[in-house]
Chain A
């Protein structure tokens, strides 16, 4: 079996070493070539982020994933359950408890209906609570999947499953697969950018945007809305941009001599990478400078330059999307509404979290639409699992605040743009919103669908690792399907 790494070195690398920067991938793309059934691909390691070929015409060029870390309650936002109102305050029937694992619920908890009223909105009449009035304006653009489910009931493994297809650490993330496949449209910025807010990284840490066994260049680059957007992007204190340019000229000059002397192709690559770093300094600084935006935009997003906030990250997501970044992933911490105190009370902290994200998400969708980017940008919003229709009773005791425990059985996710059918609700849960029942969608189905929208057949988009051709959708799982109904 010929290994990819060999192919990489033997083929395109050789071609590209004689070719000026940026030509190779575009040349291949212009030939309209496809990879064929084998899935074996030739990737030039010196230009790993060049735009590349897909299996078929993509509907989405890029992804913006808004992850509400901790998992917002579907029962307070999108999954309207009139039956649960009737059961509110009653003891949970045994049938719902037998054989279940909970993170914190002990004993027999009480059922709890949505803390907020629901109504139908827009032309499509999709159900939504009163917590997201701004997002509601886009209800006909979004497709709510109510039947998401997982088999992980703890945050870190569930986040890993959702973003890498495996509940363990060490597998490549969706964003790294996408950038491995598609490269990036902007060679002066990382192809896969991660932005976090809420003061804490997601539970599974940086592994949720790791590259696993894919080359490390495809891992997500965590950028920041406060301070240097990319680590070490700025010149050290006392080194001006003109001096930096002068340094790089000297470096390039000497490295050219070394290249001639030793003949190592890596030296030539290194010279190019230093130049790219220089361009990244300029382009990333520009991309992350939201002060350039007019006041009306700041009003719409509720942004305040210089802060670390979800609102700033939403605006950055739009600016990065405009610049051709392939995968933009936002994590917002603080959605784990257990009811252990005001911050995690569904009627207090949860309300604040909704208010923090409602306007910026709405502004992002509006902004993308106005700029003609929404059609080619797949926007996804979700947590990592759902929450129980029972009120949490930590240690078997009812708590003062109102919260819900983790529920792997059902959660809501919505998508917009990027070839998705707007104004459509997909799937149903049982009458109390506990388990997905109709048109169930797993993380693997989601991944297959995302890859499909990006132009890939998930079964053929593979990479050799540990003796098998691995894929994002986990080769040990069977029955994974593209969710065709959500595609426009």
Chain B
């Protein structure tokens, strides 16, 4: 014990005064030892070491944990150096004590004034000038930053690669395809000083550019052609994939790209295709399994939108905040729900038909008209209801109807009226059951139906749907004759959900109410064609039929509590009968007719509910939707520089904030992502996590330079940004790794050499198709079904079958392959393509025997080998020259004589074996020489230099 304390006494920090950085030196110690208890999840003793105010303020004990400039008065110092097991921090059961050096570092930091810093990623990026020794190497500013780090580490860059190595790499990186012989010849033979620039410009202008970068975005957008879960039925969203490809090809600036996808439905003067961009957040899964709770899965989708937005744009693990404040970073629990409020108010509700959707016209020329019609139809319908609501507001003599008799059609259920006039259902009234209510009749001109939630406590709202299906009304005269009253129109408190309220009086249709979940009280006024005058002694009978099921069609949507009122004020009857009102309905009908005449595909989109139908977003205690707490309004966490405006923020405001000047993360996250695509590893390796728990940047100055360059200089345009990257001296280095480089920079994070990456799942296939001459360059349209083994698709309750595409669709680029969530395309999954159930910010490449089985044995690859063999054979009369040509098509490199010798020998052995074995031969090619060539082609498609870039 004595020895130990002596050591502490004499251990001094090796750092010089003023050298300490909170982020570099102190935060990691807190994260390692302290924040599990004194962080966002737990604030033991009211101390949190992730929030400046809580760290530097008073704790529960009244003592200050950290007193700047005074380690002796700092409770934290006393605790971490204590010898008393009841006092020492961390508590012995939680972990070992801090190392002496760590203690000394903290002491020095407090001594020097406990300067607090926010995490690097929350500060604004800044341009820092650097100086280098090897001044003739850099071609761009980014090279200066890379070189500065190399020189600090005592390293120097690798030599520039040959033209072929660079050109194949840049072609695959920018377009996802290797160069064609013509592309290669054009660049190889171009001796001009700007040959590299021209080559890059050709690649950037290629229509295939967008296809390659769309794949990256589709992983983030969790794009899939199916809805997920049990039945995993198909979903038509390919127009969104095409929108993304076109956006990349047109070099749409990333700020617009962002705003259109997150809030394309809210833009004031949108482009006709902006609505399709909002499919981004309709790629959430939809559970159609029988009996699933639609509200549960609606909320799951909303929460997925929150975490996807934060992962894709902010590289922030915001999902943590759903249950508690963030464990490491300053995001309070409530902020999750404030942010969720941006997404909580869209019309979609996990309905089997993916409501709401928009029409994408088959003929692009008709898109503008279709989009306008949809918008106008909605506006006219709103206007009709709003005008009627204004008239309704004049009626103030609604009187509660008191029933003389009530009857529920189901033997298992009941309906009764309380003394206060509220009808209450009891027992179980299933779908297709009805209530029949009889009243002493009085003359009336309007009936008001109020649908009430079961509970008076708004925290408990959100249960099963309550929809008034068929509403019928009869007058029963004293002599017993029944007269059905013709009903004309239903005026609703708000228009929301998938059904028009008028459907309640049109027979057999869904009806009026909250569907698929009961959000809160609703009301409507039902207007007869004419004011109804009744004779004394007559009775009125109202029947309400429940036509609808909710929760994937398995639970009844019955009225559980409601009231009925009547008024004899004829204002609405008169208004409804007016010619102006009729004309508006005619206009509405005519526009619907025009819209339906435009052939197109329906695509699910984001649609904001009207302000009148706004959902009440509440905090979920510990993330559980069943325990709803206080209401919140939409807002953005303080730490990420929210906009000045704080009231009435919309999804559009949120999207604009993401790409606004103050946001410290978006440009860094994007620049890092694009860098990682080209260099194989991010400057921040955890491209999905820029928080305390992520990896720190290996070169913050480089990252900041790149993000400012992208956001400011290039005004969010990705093409000129990528152009600088691929033309840089850094990217142009050769990828050869010497043992020394592998030792000093094993993962090439300092970029001591050119990048060398395995091809992505899609690239492996696309390249093989291209070199074999089979590739179809056809773009866009519905997904395709290239050959896949039998028996892969076996979803429950889903008869969908994989019908292999015919013609050129068999050979389309990988991104057009049908992507089914519960059963992905096998060879893509093997090469690490995600199933896209959720946002996938990073594919982690594996290297497994199953990959070898795909490219060696998959019949699809054998077909490519056969075509590749044929192509090589026609290139030259001589075998060695054929092989040399094939090798060059595949790798752009000249094969060494040893490689050619090895391939020729393989060919000879195969030739001999096929001559001995004609039965095998017939299965592959007409002659032994051709069969041998197929085998060689199959081998070449598996070469390491073919599978990497």
Contact = CB atoms under 8 A, between A and B. Distances in A.
Interface of A: 1, 3, 5-6, 9-10, 13-14, 37, 45-46, 48, 94, 97, 101-104, 106-108, 153-157, 168-170, 190, 196, 199-207, 210, 215-217, 221, 224, 226-228, 230-240, 242-244, 246-247, 250-251, 253-255, 257-259, 261-267, 269-271, 273-274, 276-277, 280-281, 333, 395-396, 406, 464, 466-468, 476
A107 B428 contact: yes
A476 B323 CA distance: 8
A230 B898 CA distance: 35
Nearest to A159: B230
Interface in B279-299: 285, 287, 289-293
B858 A232 contact: yes
A200 B685 CA distance: 40
A231 B853 contact: yes
Given A270-B944, A467-B693, A204 B902 contact: no
A237 B289 contact: no
Contacts of B796: 155, 200-203, 333
A264 B756 contact: yes
20 contacts: A1-B31, A6-B685, A10-B746, A94-B427, A102-B555, A104-B291, A104-B554, A190-B850, A207-B821, A231-B826, A236-B938, A238-B922, A238-B923, A250-B905, A263-B737, A266-B847, A267-B944, A396-B430, A466-B320, A467-B320
| Most central of B320, B412, B794, B852 by chain A CB within 10 Å | B852
Interface string B844-880: 1011111111101111001000000000000000000
Contact of A396 (B412, B758, B847, B944): B412
A226 B489 CA distance: 62
Contact of A264 (B685, B735, B791): B735
Nearest to B891: A258
Interface in B421-436: 427-433
A216 B838 CA distance: 15
Given A466-B689, A476-B323, A273 B790 contact: no
A396 B32 CA distance: 58
Nearest to B945: A258
Contact of B821 (A14, A169, A203): A169
Contact of B822 (A3, A168, A201): A201
Interface in B699-729: none
A233 B857 contact: yes
A238 B921 contact: yes
Nearest to B898: A257
A107 B412 contact: yes
Question: Ordered nearest first, which 3 A-B pairs have the shortest CB separation?
Answer: A205-B822, A103-B291, A238-B923
A240 B920 contact: yes
Contacts of B317: 466-468
Interface residues of B, number: 115
B858 to A, nearest CB: 5
Given A221-B850, A253-B902, A396-B410, A234 B857 contact: yes
Nearest to B292: A154
B572 interface: no
Contact of B319 (A102, A231, A466): A466
B824 interface: yes
B899 interface: yes
Contacts of B323: 476
B230 A156 contact: yes
B462 to A, nearest CB: 13
Contacts of B285: 169
Contacts of B906: 246-247, 250
B736 interface: yes
B232 interface: yes
A53 B863 CA distance: 44
B117 interface: no
Contact of A277 (B826, B835, B838, B856): B856
A234 B898 CA distance: 30
Contact of A243 (B292, B847, B935): B935
Contacts of B920: 237-240
Contacts of B846: 45, 48, 215-217
A14 B756 CA distance: 18
B849 A276 contact: yes
A217 B848 contact: yes
Contacts, number: 293
A250 B320 contact: no
B379 interface: no
B789 A231 contact: yes
Contacts of A333: 796
B339 to A, nearest CB: 16
Contact of B838 (A14, A169, A200, A273): A169
B929 interface: no
Given A6-B695, A243-B910, A263-B738, A108 B230 contact: no
Contact of B410 (A97, A107, A243, A270): A107
A196 B796 CA distance: 13
Contacts of B210: none
B896 interface: yes
B943 A243 contact: no
Interface in B512-531: none
A132 to B, nearest CB: 25
B814 interface: no
Interface string B821-837: 11110110100100101
Contacts of A234: 857
Given A232-B858, A247-B906, A263-B739, A396 B433 contact: yes
A476 B431 contact: no
Contacts of A203: 229-230, 289, 796
Contacts of A235: 856-857
Nearest to A308: B791
B742 A205 contact: no
A210 B835 contact: yes
Given A205-B795, A232-B854, A467 B848 contact: no
B853 A107 contact: no
B942 A274 contact: yes
Given A3-B695, A217-B846, A261 B822 contact: no
B949 to A, nearest CB: 12
Contacts of B320: 466-468
B300 interface: yes
B786 interface: no
A273 B849 contact: yes
A240 B923 contact: no
A392 B857 CA distance: 49
Contacts of B433: 396
Contacts of B859: 236
A217 B859 CA distance: 23
Contacts of B412: 107-108, 396
A107 B689 contact: no
Contacts of A199: 794
A199 B913 CA distance: 40
A406 B838 CA distance: 27
Nearest to B847: A269
A104 B555 CA distance: 7
B686 interface: yes
A201 B735 CA distance: 44
B912 to A, nearest CB: 10
B228 interface: yes
A266 B735 CA distance: 13
Given A108-B427, A205-B795, 12 more contacts: A46-B847, A107-B429, A200-B795, A201-B822, A203-B230, A236-B938, A238-B921, A246-B909, A250-B905, A395-B431, A396-B412, A467-B327
A273 to B, nearest CB: 5
B948 interface: yes
Contacts of A261: 736
Given A104-B291, A238-B924, A227 B910 contact: no
B353 to A, nearest CB: 19
B948 A266 contact: yes
Contacts of A215: 844, 846
Interface in B541-566: 554-556
